[in-house]
Amino acid sequence: MKIEPSLKMSIFEPAIFGDLKAAAEAKKATGAEVVDLSLGSPDLPPDEKVRQALSEQSALATTYGYTLSGTKRFNEAVANYYQRRSGVTLNPDTEIIQTMGSQEGLVHLPFALCNEGDIVLTTNPAYVAYDAGIKLAGAVPYYMPLRAENGFLPNLDDIPEDIARKAKLLILNLPGNPVPALPDATFFDKVVAFAKEYNVPVLHDAAYSEYYFTGDSPSSFLSTPGAMEVGMEINSLSKSFSLAGARIAYIVGNAEMISIIRQLKSNLDYGIFGPIQEAAATALDHAEEITDRLRKEFSQRHKVLMNGLAEIGWSVTPSNGGMFVWAKYPFELDDKEFVFKAIEQCGVVMVPGSIFGTEGAGFVRLALVQKVEELEKAVAQLSTLDM
């Protein structure tokens, strides 16, 4: 039998993580110490109350049915969390929809709002799932560069008028992956004004909203006046509550947009396992306590890695939040070549910036997913590089 991938499969390139892992294993096999800062999968365990809720609920005989578009308990926990954290009032029945991790929501969302050939405004660099969703929907990305001179924020004023008029979706991610930039108070006001002027729905990916280390928590996009009219926020339990493997997230915001997504999803899946929803609701009920602990640990890590890299001559993008450090290494070398050489020479595993877009060339992303001592070790190992 001759098996051929569909034409659409040509939009997907093999992910680099497998190659990074193989290079790291080869280095380990030589007896060297390897510090892996590549994947953004949280290393802290979920809170005990959350694990207990999952275990109690899954022991019941009655929790194994389809949950369809989500349980009332989960949606109410999301609404309460938004009210407490951001002062945003959400209707649990009409303004919240759960997704099987935010990746699933992100990949399917452009399908719900865009036709073939429509333009989606997204950043360069950006989290790779945005491009996957845009291209699967047959839409066309228009990339807004994230550059140092603009504080690594997209500049909406630079979008040509004809592109803005044709756009059917604007995707933002602050603090972001891979660039952990945070906007000032006026940025989302500009986004709402832009969305209204050009009739462009907005999706803010708030996956790292609980990762802030100084000052106030990053604002929810939905707390901006007018935001509920123009957009949505997608957030995940993966990062803030260490539930990456449980695959639970949600989209909140404009009821009409949510209803379109609900219709799409009712044809794609039958909902998330009930006990996972209960565990996630428990996490949201205790969000303040759980995320305070997370911030204490990650702010230490953030400080150690940011300062350590700066001390050895790397140019580190300033940030007060996020789960990653975005940095320029002090060598004239292509970033893909650099990360493999770095594994070989010193056993530190990083992600080349260019996999997130052309603007990432010359940068690397380092995830704060190891304890402080490991990060100190990583800096010491990186200081020995010679290229």
Ligand X SMILES: Cc1ncc(COP(=O)(O)O)c(C=O)c1O
In the list 70, 101, 274, 321, the residue contacting ligand X (rule: CB under 6 A) is 101
- Please, which residues have CB within 8 angstroms of residue 9's CB and are 6 or more apart in sequence? none
Binding positions for ligand X, 109-138, rule CB under 6 A: 127
Cα 222 to chain centroid, rounded:
17
- Please, which residues have CB within 8 angstroms of residue 179's CB and are 6 or more apart in sequence? 125, 146, 152, 317, 322, 324, 326
- Give the number of other Cβ atoms within 10 Å of residue 13's Cβ: 8
The angle subtended at Cα 137 by Cα 132 and Cα 139, nearest 5°, is: 90
Question: Per residue, what are the HEC states of 25-57?
Answer: HHHHHCCCCCEECCCCCCCCCCCHHHHHHHHHH
Q: How far apart are CA 291 and CA 201, in angstroms?
A: 30
Q: CB 234 → ligand X: shortest distance, Å?
A: 7
The answer to whether the bond into 178 is cis (omega within 30° of 0) is yes
Number of helices followed by number of strands (H, E) in the chain: 14, 13
307 bridge partner residues: none
For position 240 contacting ligand X by CB under 6 A, the verdict is: no
Binding positions for ligand X, 159-198, rule CB under 6 A: 173, 177
Q: CB 158 → ligand X: shortest distance, Å?
A: 22
For position 57 contacting ligand X by CB under 6 A, the verdict is: no
In the list 36, 95, 131, 205, the residue contacting ligand X (rule: CB under 6 A) is 205
For position 291 contacting ligand X by CB under 6 A, the verdict is: no
Q: CB 207 → ligand X: shortest distance, Å?
A: 4
For position 317 contacting ligand X by CB under 6 A, the verdict is: no
Candidate segments 52-60, 236-244, 286-294, 296-304, binder of ligand X by CB under 6 A:
236-244
For position 284 contacting ligand X by CB under 6 A, the verdict is: no
In the list 38, 69, 75, 103, the residue contacting ligand X (rule: CB under 6 A) is 103
Q: How far apart are CA 156 and CA 217, in angstroms?
A: 24
Q: CB 176 → ligand X: shortest distance, Å?
A: 6
For position 231 contacting ligand X by CB under 6 A, the verdict is: no
Residue placing its CB nearer to ligand X in the complex, 102 or 219: 102
Q: CB 113 → ligand X: shortest distance, Å?
A: 18
Of residues 134, 106, 73, 112, the one with CA closest to residue 262: 112
Residue placing its CB nearer to ligand X in the complex, 90 or 280: 280
Residue placing its CB nearer to ligand X in the complex, 242 or 282: 242
In the list 140, 193, 244, 255, the residue contacting ligand X (rule: CB under 6 A) is 244
Q: How far apart are CA 209 and CA 189, in angstroms?
A: 18
In the list 38, 75, 102, 282, the residue contacting ligand X (rule: CB under 6 A) is 102
Residue placing its CB nearer to ligand X in the complex, 98 or 381: 98
Candidate segments 11-19, 99-107, 147-155, 294-302, binder of ligand X by CB under 6 A:
99-107
In the list 34, 37, 40, 42, the residue contacting ligand X (rule: CB under 6 A) is 40
Residue placing its CB nearer to ligand X in the complex, 195 or 369: 369
Structure tokens belonging to residue 82: 């938004």
Strands 119-124 and 315-316: unpaired
Residue placing its CB nearer to ligand X in the complex, 178 or 308: 178
315 bridge partner residues: 328
Count of positions on this chain that bind ligand X (CB under 6 A): 13
| Residue 184: strand, helix, or coil | coil
Q: CB 318 → ligand X: shortest distance, Å?
A: 19
Alpha helix positions (H), 119-273: 128-136, 161-166, 187-198, 227-230, 237-240, 255-265
Q: CB 28 → ligand X: shortest distance, Å?
A: 24
Chain positions contacting ligand X, by CB under 6 A: 40, 101-103, 127, 173, 177, 205, 207, 236, 238, 244, 249
